[in-house]
């Protein structure tokens, strides 16, 4: 059947490794079931807003279920408990737009609001509050999942722990998440109370991050271009939701206003190479100088604190036609020397990443493929046209794995199967559950194929 269906070119947010897929707008349960029945050996995968960087939400030659919210997907809040049941297609932006004014914030937000609830669970996303609140899956009490055999199942951590945790972080490979119930965070204002400070190098930065526990949200941006004694210099921003008393001249009603408007749009496709080591190093210098030398307190909006890049629509095009990859890994505490060596290696490479994001995670959860593990995580963007980066990454990959670390599947675009095996020691356990949940091998994606995730 598939041979006559139209093919659509899809790629992830990094605009790399596009593939030709049969895209189905999964507007209702019937449509999804039919698509599964009609799929061939190339299988089916769900796709949310396509904000993962690599290829987990595309399926060359197979079916892609577009889980798009046409504005009619449901959000049901219990104002007593803060539990919300939302359609998997709902974006975090829509959740914020509707629930922030009612005094509720999402339990975890990534660096963009443009992700769906389904994508948030499938990647078990983390945010600036991981060290306090854990990842998205930690707040979910129930997942409604459509299995490959066409059954709708309710998964909870109590009654079906293996299936529940195989789905959290399971990259869409256990079924289609239809909706989920999770706990929101109560807030009294839509503002953030933020402290900004800067550190002259990486070890100073890591030292000041030791008292992160006093803040609900924390993240550091480090300059990968600076060399020598300033290597790894960075700006640390930490904060919490502001209380009404933190705001001047604002009444209770307007304190919860939320405006998600995007500001600018990047030009269609930027010439590749505009981001080079000169422009990046100039940018980083200005950015570092702009940060106050002393600790500085400010009040910011949710958007500017959590989602600065959402202000520029389709900023991913800044990297030109060949796209970019995001490299994110975590190494356990105790591997600080490895982390320094990696920053050193990457900064020697002039790999033209504006900034890298450094953060520490608390202990991870029960998801065998969930990314966070207690330790330091670093994320950086690298233009994909420098073929030599493959060798650099191969070296860094080995350092990460050797230190007992792992790579984030939602961002990965280059690791090899053995890196998953070494980084995720519970992979086989996940595979066993996955195979039980998908005996006919329906769920497949480009990522799963490249990494042999569902190999039997």
Partner 1 sequence: MENGLGIPQTIALFGASSEIGQAVIREIIQVGVANVVLAVRSESSVAQFKDELNGTYPGVNILVHQFDALEFESHDGLIARIVTEVGDIDVAVIAFGVLGGEPCESLLSTDAVQVAQVNYTGTVSLLGALATQMKRQSHGKIAYLSSVAGERVRRSNPVYGSSKAGADSFAQGLSDRLVGSGVSLLIVRPGFVASKMTAHLKPAPFATTPGAVAVATAKGLASGKRIIWVPGLLRFVFSIFRHLPLPIWRKLAEKG
From the list partner 1, ligand FAD, none, partner contacted by residue 244 (C-beta under 5 to 8 A by kind): none
Strand order in the sheet with 8-10: 8-10, 19-25, 63-66, 44-47
Binding partner 1 by CB under 8 A: which of 107, 110, 170, 323? 323
Q: Is 262 exposed, middle or buried (0-12, 13-18, 19+ CB in 10 A)?
A: middle
Whether 243 contacts 255, CB under 8 Å? no
**Cβ distance to partner 1 smaller for residue 240 or 412:** 412
Size, binding site for partner 1 by CB under 8 A: 35
From the list partner 1, ligand FAD, none, partner contacted by residue 452 (C-beta under 5 to 8 A by kind): partner 1
Binding mask 296-335 for ligand FAD (x = CB under 6 A): -------------x--------------------------
Binding mask 332-371 for partner 1 (x = CB under 8 A): ----------------------------------------
The answer to whether 444 contacts ligand FAD (rule: CB under 6 A) is no
Q: Is 65 exposed, middle or buried (0-12, 13-18, 19+ CB in 10 A)?
A: buried
CA distance linking residue 283 with residue 423, whole number of Å: 34
Binding mask 79-108 for ligand FAD (x = CB under 6 A): ---------x--------------------
Q: Is 352 exposed, middle or buried (0-12, 13-18, 19+ CB in 10 A)?
A: buried
CA distance linking residue 365 with residue 369, whole number of Å: 10
The answer to whether 55 contacts partner 1 (rule: CB under 8 A) is yes
CA distance linking residue 248 with residue 365, whole number of Å: 39
Q: How far is the CB of 299 from partner 1 (least distance, A)?
A: 38
Whether 362 contacts 130, CB under 8 Å? yes
Q: Which residues contact 257 (CB under 8 A, 6 or more apart)?
A: 101, 190
Helix (H) or strand (E) holding 129: none
Query: Tokens for 250?
Result: 């604002």
The answer to whether 269 contacts partner 1 (rule: CB under 8 A) is no
The answer to whether 399 contacts partner 1 (rule: CB under 8 A) is no
Binding partner 1 by CB under 8 A: which of 31, 34, 37, 41? 41
What part of residues 392-411 is at the interface with ligand FAD (CB under 6 A)? 410
Residues that bind ligand FAD (CB under 6 A): 13, 45-52, 56-57, 67, 88, 110-112, 115-116, 118-119, 122-123, 125-127, 171-172, 176-177, 309, 410
């Amino acid at each position: 059947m598939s041979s006559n269906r139209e093919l659509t070119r899809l790629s992830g947010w990094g605009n790399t490794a596009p593939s030709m897929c049969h895209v189905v707008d999964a507007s209702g349960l019937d449509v999804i079931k039919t698509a599964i029945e009609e799929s061939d050996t190339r299988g089916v995968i769900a796709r949310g807003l396509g904000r993962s960087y690599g290829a987990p939400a595309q399926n060359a030659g197979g079916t892609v279920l577009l889980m798009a919210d046409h504005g009619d997907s449901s959000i049901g809040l219990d104002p007593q408990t803060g539990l919300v049941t939302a359609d998997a297609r709902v974006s975090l932006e829509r959740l914020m737009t509707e629930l922030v004014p009612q005094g509720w914030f999402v339990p975890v937000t990534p660096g963009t609001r443009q992700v769906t609830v389904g994508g948030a669970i499938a990647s078990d996303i983390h945010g600036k509050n991981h060290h306090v609140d854990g990842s998205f899956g930690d707040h979910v009490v129930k997942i409604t999942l459509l299995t490959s055999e066409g059954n709708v199942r309710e998964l909870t951590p109590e009654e079906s722990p293996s299936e529940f945790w195989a789905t959290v972080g399971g990259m869409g490979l256990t079924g289609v998440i239809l909706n989920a119930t999770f706990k929101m965070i109560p807030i009294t204002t839509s503002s953030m109370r933020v402290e900004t400070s800067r550190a002259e190098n990486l070890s100073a930065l890591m030292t000041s991050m030791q008292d992160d526990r006093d803040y609900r949200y924390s993240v550091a941006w480090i300059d990968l271009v600076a060399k020598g004694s300033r290597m790894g210099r960075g700006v640390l921003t930490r904060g919490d939701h502001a209380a009404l008393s933190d705001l001047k001249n604002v009444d209770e009603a307007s304190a919860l206003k939320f405006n998600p408007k995007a500001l600018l749009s990047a030009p269609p496709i930027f010439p590749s190479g505009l981001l080079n080591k000169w422009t990046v190093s100039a940018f980083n210098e200005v950015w570092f100088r702009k940060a106050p030398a002393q600790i500085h307190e400010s009040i910011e909006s949710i958007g500017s604190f959590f989602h600065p890049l959402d202000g520029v629509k389709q900023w991913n095009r800044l990297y030109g036609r060949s796209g970019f990859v995001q490299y994110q890994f975590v190494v356990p505490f105790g591997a600080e020397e490895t982390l320094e060596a990696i920053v050193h290696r990457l900064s020697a490479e002039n790999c033209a990443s504006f900034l890298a994001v450094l953060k520490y995670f608390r202990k991870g959860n029960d998801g065998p493929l969930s990314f966070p593990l207690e330790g330091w995580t670093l994320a950086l963007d690298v233009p994909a046209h420098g073929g030599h980066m493959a060798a650099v990454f191969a070296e860094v990959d080995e350092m990460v794995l050797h230190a007992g670390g792992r790579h984030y599947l939602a961002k990965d675009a280059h690791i090899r199967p053995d890196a998953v095996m070494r980084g995720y020691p519970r992979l086989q356990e996940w595979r066993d559950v996955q195979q039980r949940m998908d005996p006919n091998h329906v769920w497949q994606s480009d990522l799963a194929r490249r990494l042999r995730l569902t190999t039997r």
